[in-house]
Amino acid sequence: MNLNALSYSDLTELRSLAERVARDAGTHVRNLREKGVTVAAAKSSPVDIVTLGDQAAEQIIVAELRDWRHSDAILGEEGTNRAGASGITWILDPIDGTTNYFYNQPNYCVSVAACVADTSYSEGYRAVAGAVYVPTSAELFSAAAGLGATLNGKKLRINEAAPLSESLIATGFGYSAKKRARQAEVLLEVLPRVRDIRRSGSAAYDLCALAAGRLDAYYEAGLKVWDYAAAELIAREAGATVTGAAAAGVISSKPGTPLLIAGPAETVKALQPLLPALK
């Protein structure tokens, strides 16, 4: 399956389904949060937690997708890995920003993307439709390939490129202490050269915020495919260039896990030499 095999109505149907399931799961986790939060487990490190809300949201999304699209594959952060025969893989982050959810901070969201295989991305998937729902603000970001990106139905456009020194840049940090130490070193190079740095705690939200002009650019090393699948499409459809490391001495120049950089083409070009992909 590739993008060209999908019709306008295929794309709009996939987008509507992504919107519906992201909203349903997001509403559920917000309601759950009002009753408190329960940590179900720690994952890659003691600070990388999964709550009952993450698990419940993934179950809701998987059940709805299976009802509507039983021959699609599904890959979810909390362990879903179902094969499918249609060529579409749904990639889910049931709560992106779990630490914010745990502390009852508002920046968490549900991310749902319908993807096709694409070797120009480091994880080999590219979203053709997707939605990110922020339940605390009832903001629904969505996009379909070639059809633009919207926030609650209103068209999104990134900011015009500004000099790096006047650009507001978002980034994030992984969960391993070793990676964080390297990410802090990179930040030492970036921070003196930009307007300021933001760290929202949700990669999916950061990419949507870029799409909405709330930031000028975003970069992060070490993302997982579910962190960026839907929101990367939303940012790109709002006009962002999305790429990986610079060409010389790279681990991979494809956007994705070693490094993802997004923003206006000129800003991405100015940021690239400052950002080595971190292993």
Which residues does residue 196 pair with via DSSP β-bridges, in sequence order?
A: 168
Nearer to ligand IPD, 93 or 232 (CB): 93
78's contact among Ca ion, ligand IPD, none, with CB below 5 to 8 A by partner kind, is: none
176's contact among ligand IPD, Ca ion, none, with CB below 5 to 8 A by partner kind, is: none
Nearer to ligand IPD, 128 or 221 (CB): 221
223's contact among ligand IPD, Ca ion, none, with CB below 5 to 8 A by partner kind, is: ligand IPD
174's contact among Ca ion, ligand IPD, none, with CB below 5 to 8 A by partner kind, is: ligand IPD
Q: Does 227 bind ligand IPD (CB under 6 A)?
A: yes
Q: Does 96 bind Ca ion (CB under 5 A)?
A: yes
Question: Smallest gap, in angstroms, from Cβ of residue 151 to Ca ion?
Answer: 20
Question: Smallest gap, in angstroms, from Cβ of residue 173 to ligand IPD?
Answer: 5
Build a one-symbol-per-residue string for 201-230: x at contacts with Ca ion by CB under 5 A, - elsewhere: --------------------------x---
Build a one-symbol-per-residue string for 193-222: x at contacts with ligand IPD by CB under 6 A, - elsewhere: --------xxx----------------x--
Q: Does 256 bind ligand IPD (CB under 6 A)?
A: no
Distance CA 176, CA 186 (A): 15
The residue number with the shortest CB distance to ligand IPD is 172
Taking alpha carbons only, the member of 137, 38, 98, 73 closest to residue 227 is 98
Nearer to ligand IPD, 1 or 173 (CB): 173
Question: Smallest gap, in angstroms, from Cβ of residue 172 to ligand IPD?
Answer: 2
Residue 91 phi, psi (nearest 5): -115, 125
Build a one-symbol-per-residue string for 155-194: x at contacts with ligand IPD by CB under 6 A, - elsewhere: -----------------xxx--------------------
Full DSSP string of the chain: --GGG--HHHHHHHHHHHHHHHHHHHHHHHHHHHT---EEEE-SSTT-EEEHHHHHHHHHHHHHHHHH-TTSEEEETTS-EE--SSS-EEEEEEEE-HHHHHTT-S--EEEEEEEEE-TTSTTSEEEEEEEEEETTTTEEEEEETTTEEEETTEE--PPPP--GGG-EEEE---S-HHHHHHHHHHHHHHGGGSSEEE--S-HHHHHHHHHTTS-SEEEESS--HHHHHHHHHHHHHTT-EEE-S-STT-S--SSSSS-EEEE-HHHHHHHGGG-PPP-
Return residues touching ligand IPD (CB under 6 A): 93, 96-99, 172-174, 201-203, 220, 223, 227
Contact positions vs Ca ion (CB under 5 A): 93, 96, 227
